[in-house]
Amino acid sequence: MGIRNAAKALIIRDEQILLNKCRHTLGEGLWGLTTGEEYYDLPGGGQELYETIEEAVVRECLEETGHVVTVERLAAVYEEITMDTDFRTGRFAAYAHKIHFAFVCTIAEENAAAERVIDFDVEDAVWIDLVDIDKIKILPKLINDNLRRVLQSDVTLFLGSEHV
């Protein structure tokens, strides 16, 4: 097992952010969630072999949201290491240690994908008012706790590492 790079998008439009609305299905306690609990995640996902991290965020956004995005800049980097033994050794072992690269992106073309590819736990891509982001749970916790700071910064931030 190696470390997986995850390319994530911060897409803001009309004082709203585009997030994946998710429902936890992987068992009690993982990420501090109970089964069936709602949470949100930035659109994006794993970088594939021979794909640049920017190509990964564009591809993942198209798959998950249906939108073609333009990458503006790298906004934040953060690390997530899963401590759960079952997760580390089970079918999700490749996801147990991730480095997240969050990019500020804009929508270049809406609804460009004929069909979306939805990951486990994801229900839909939804626009959330920025004034409401403190009222919802966004995972990983490092992005949840620092999202406003990331959105207000003009420089790339390292948010740290967390064991979950």
Predicted TM-score (pTM) of this structure? 0.89
Q: Which amino acid is at 144?
A: N
CATH number at residue 56: 3.90.79.10
Contact 63, 116 (CB under 8 A): yes
pLDDT tier for residue 123 given thresholds of 50, 70 and 90: confident
How confident is the model at residue 31, as a pLDDT? 67
**Residue 159 phi, psi (nearest 5):** -90, -10
pLDDT in tens, 14-67: 999 999 999 887 766 666 677 778 899 999 999 999 999 999 999 999 999 999
Work out the angle at residue 122's Cα, subtended by the Cα atoms of residues 96 and 30, and round it to the nearest 5 degrees.
Answer: 40
pLDDT tier for residue 83 given thresholds of 50, 70 and 90: confident
| pLDDT at residue 1 greater than cutoff 80 | no
If one counts the domains in the chain, the total is 1
How confident is the model at residue 88, as a pLDDT? 81
Q: Which domain holds residue 110?
A: 4-163
| CB atoms near residue 55 (< 10 Å) | 14
How confident is the model at residue 114, as a pLDDT? 66
**Residue 148 phi, psi (nearest 5):** -60, -40
